[in-house]
Structure 1
């Protein structure tokens, strides 16, 4: 070992400085010579393997390798020296070592090849990875917990999305039924509006006809009054004629035989006058009754005309209200159709959200499986116990140096 450091001193680095640096190194440093004997074992190596330096120096390096791998360990190292095929030199691997007390410790192993005389020796730099592995486990535990929470949230979202989708489907069905009902109501209101418009026209016509009928009755009452006046004149004439016939009869009686013929004529005239007076009285009575009936009809029609006019106004208002209701029903129908369209879109969105949530759940499961695989890799990624010079398989986890 001293000779090795003395050779390095020729390169400008004092031997004591190299020795001090290796002793103070955090990593365990093990050097073996051409016979595979340990020629250097620093303090960190003592702490890592649990051997005292004197127990290791000068002995075969296979003592640092578990018994299951000791039988071919020298052969592997010698094969590397002979073939020069450096599978492990210049690489770093995470492996495990067995301590003297049997404890298994995860470590990071890096090997360097060095010329010692005409042969090759090896330097192993071994770092205790217990804290790093524990930190990785904690990180994976946290990641696993987070994935579990995400998976639970995804499942909850999927459940909510399914409920929303079902509710949206029911809403869409209800909206379609409401739309159909509003279509029927709108059609019925259009029919009512048409009937109201027709009724409005008829009511206005009836109002005009009633006004005309009232005017006609008023004229009839006036005519009947005039007829009654004329009948009174005829009655007066009949009375005067009857009086004249009576006077003529008296004069004929005074004339004796000479006035007998005139008396007969006067008597006939008196009888005609009496009959005319009776007929005139009867006509007057009938005319009076007709006048009273016409006057009563006039009063009824006069009272009815405002009611008919009011009815026409109400029908007009009903017609206008029906038209407004028709417009409102059509607006509601359009709004329901728009709502149905929105509900259909919401249903499609909820369905897509359900699919997305399901996909996220599947991805969470994949991520959980990946974390478990990483956890297994951390625990079992380098389960083969090794010592300095052990032939480690190719494809190292990371390259930290290049020396051959």
Structure 2
């Protein structure tokens, strides 16, 4: 299980690749910042824990005050001109110009057309403008542009921190505002220590354990469903066979043959419940993932761009393999291409699950067999 496998899981399965992308960038940024020997490093002071606690306390205090003021202001302006009203969902014209107030002048019409030059031409605003807007929205001061790594920090804010960012991290409101305030003060890595702690905790306690459990599955969903259906069929077949022999004149010893179907069926079903196919496990193989089946003409993996620290959102719906894999018939998916499992630790986990499934099948199969053997024969035919 490599970092690339973990990244592919986060992109295609958990849809949270931004956590690992930010984690990798921060580790690299920390090394580069420590190795920098330029004179402007002094312009990026340390962001201390006391400063972090102070800004968090201020953010929470402001939020609490707004919660107390809003109900009072709503009651004060109720029935007046400044009362907040919710626009109707039906029958409203989105292109309708709102009515001008009694105190509006000719200059008010001009305010509808005031916007940054970068947006007036229809172009997407750059990351510098987005970062500046994020600082203003959070109520933070505009940072010094001469600080080291300021350009890169602005890209981090526009990519991972601000609302609507293409790779926005799952942060609480106060964590997001505190990070923006810290980054407006300094470009020192300590400004992102709190964010990194949240991301690192999410990766270690949630994403990676889920990745290990997902990696145990050696078959695709179609193969696992087929294995479950096969296990249920074997168990039902063993029950039917045991019932037929119990109602016949055959001796009780013949009924023990149903134990073969019970053991095979229960072991297959228990392993499939964990996402494993016992046939693939016997060869230490796994199915090739759907995104691994189709490679670009130059041999480069389709998911290589996911390791770029800055870029667009982690969306894969437009990748060519999605449509190609959906067109594959169910039989081809069940018996898809396989590859040998190289990770010894993963094979050891699968061996443990296989042994547990065998033990469970021997126990439950033995109980079922003993019940049918103990029942007197019916002598019906």
Task: Give the TM interval when normalised to the shorter protein.
Answer: under 0.3
Structure showing greater radius of gyration is 1
TM-score normalised to structure 2 length: 0.22
Structure whose residues are more often helix by fraction: 1
Q: Give the number of the structure with larger relative contact order, counting CA–CA contacts within 8 Å between residues 6 or more apart.
A: 1
Which of the two has greater strand per residue?
1
